[in-house]
Amino acid sequence: MGQQITVLGAGAGGLTTTADLTIQGHDVTLFELPKFESNLEAIRSNEGIDITGAANEGHARPATVTSDPAEAVEDTDLVIQVVPNFAFEPFAEAVGPHLSEGQPFVLLSANTMSALEYRQILDDVGAPEIRLGETPSLAYAVRKTSPSSVHVLGIKRELSVAGLPAEHSSVLAEQMDDVFPFSVSAAENVLETSLFNANPVIHPVGALLNAGEIESPDDEYYLYQNVTDSIGRVMSRVDEERAEIGEALGLEVKTVGELFHDWYGIGENEYYATTTNSLRTSSIHGPIQGPDSLDHRYVTEDVPYGLVPLSEMAAACGVETPTIDSLIQLAEDVHHTDFRADGRTLDDCGIDATDRDALLRVATRSTPVSSLAEACR
């Protein structure tokens, strides 16, 4: 108890983590990039963060609120980054030079191959070898209700964390288990946490197969309530492709229905909780409104940082992913954007290996990626 913790990012997830851990009794520093200083101003004038809902409730006053990266991360016990994947670079550039050798640093809002790319970005900015880890997803289902308040719809009962290299998984899991009000266990490696993210399964399908309704001016849209049979079938196909990638990598991948059961207890009393039913009936996710357009992170983040790296992992393992590839294609058509080029590729992660074994070696590596890539040639 009472650890020195730094939370990077003052979005909904960052505020919730900051507030929850502050109330939990930790000494929390909240950092945001100088260009988003206004996010911090709101918290300063409110003298803290108001948090309601499923996590610790109350008015949380974090120890420090700062946009100075040195002040934020130096000598802290654990850094937790909670920012969208497309913001990885500016955050790594800001804090990277101020991190110290072996410092625990967890990506709490990871998507697919997040730690693998973040390690590469940190290398590029000359950061030391920290103890980097990632969880498969955010701990909280949450929405901002004002610039300084959040409402937590649900909190996961358990979460896993994988270190990069994997030898750090258990020490990170122990530390996070102490810090968080839910159970944290060690994942096999960052490929497992990459595959256990439910967002790329749920969000792009839900958004694309409801493009018309989402773009209708008068409708309010609730993605989870609209998981109809056809939408659920396509999500299940993504689930199956995800499972096939896992199988090729020797990892047992749970369906989204199973993950929602483990995380939130959804479908617990049913004999067999399908992905479709779990999503459609989730009282936690049902009230989440949106998206209100296809220019939304459900597409603009979960395609380039979710489906694209899944497709890349699959290709390296010789697994075909026709449904994932089709969703990427339609998202590209809708956005007139080359998400495959702009998104997260093996190359972005410094991995020029193109087979399953090399991918596994990189995920479990105890040597820097650069020399391993060398060895794979």
Q: Is 230 among the residues that bind a copy of itself (CB under 8 A)?
A: yes
Among 234, 225, 192, which residue's Cα sits nearest to residue 326?
Answer: 234
DSSP assignments along 157-202, one per residue? SEEEEEEESGGGHHHHHHHHHHHSSSEEEE-S-HHHHHHT--HHHH
Position 342 contacts a copy of itself (CB under 8 A)? no
Among the candidate windows 123-131, 169-177, 230-238, 369-377, which touches a copy of itself by CB under 8 A?
A: 230-238
Among 215, 244, 262, 352, binds a copy of itself (CB under 8 A): 215
The answer to the question of residue 228 lying near a copy of itself (CB under 8 A) is yes
- What track of x and - describes contact with a copy of itself for positions 160 through 199 (by CB under 8 A)? ----------------------------------------
Q: Give the shortest CB-142-to-a copy of itself separation in angstroms.
A: 24
Is residue 371 close enough to count as binding a copy of itself by CB under 8 A?
no
Backbone angles phi, psi at 109, to 5 degrees: -115, 50
CA-to-CA separations, 237 to 45, 55, 184, 205, 320, in angstroms, rounded: 48, 33, 29, 10, 12
Q: Is 210 in the site for a copy of itself (CB under 8 A)?
A: yes
Type and span of the H or E element at 27: strand 27-31
Helix axes 229-248, 322-335, angle to 10 degrees: 120
208 forms part of the interface with a copy of itself (CB under 8 A): yes
DSSP string, 307-354: IHHHHHHHHHHT---HHHHHHHHHHHHHHT--HHHHS--TGGGT----
334 binds a copy of itself (CB under 8 A): yes
Report DSSP letters for 237-280, one per residue: HHHHHHHHHHHHTT--PPPHHHHHHHHH-TTTTSSS--HHHHHH
- From the list 26, 168, 203, 261, the catalytic residue is 203
Nearest residue to 340 (alpha-carbon basis) of 309, 361, 314, 364: 309
Structure-block tokens of residue 45:
């004038």
Nearer to a copy of itself, 209 or 308 (CB): 209
By the rule CB under 8 A, 248 interacts with a copy of itself: no
- Looking at the Cβ atoms of 146 and 329, the one nearer to a copy of itself is 329
Q: Per CB under 8 A, which region of 177-185, 224-232, 258-266, 357-365 contacts a copy of itself?
A: 224-232
Is there a contact between 5 and 15 (Cβ–Cβ < 8 Å)?
no
Q: Between 96 and 206, whose beta carbon lies closer to a copy of itself? A: 206
Site for a copy of itself in 69-98 (CB under 8 A): none
Residue from 42, 125, 211, 288 binding a copy of itself (CB under 8 A): 211
Q: Which two tokens stand for residue 276?
A: 């479709």
The nearer residue to a copy of itself, 213 or 357, going by C-beta atoms, is 213
Q: Around Cβ 38, how many Cβ atoms within 10 Å?
A: 10
List 50, 239, 302, 325, catalytic entry? 302
Would you say 209 or 372 has its CB closer to a copy of itself? 209
Q: Is 213 in the site for a copy of itself (CB under 8 A)?
A: yes
Let me know if 203 is a catalytic residue. Answer: yes
Position among 183, 329, 366, 371 found at the interface with a copy of itself (CB under 8 A): 329
Sheet containing 49-53: which strands, arranged edge to edge? 58-60, 49-53, 149-155, 140-146
Q: Give the binding site for a copy of itself (CB under 8 A).
A: 206, 208-213, 215-216, 226-231, 233-234, 237, 294, 322-323, 325-327, 329-330, 333-334, 336
Residues tagged active-site: 203, 302
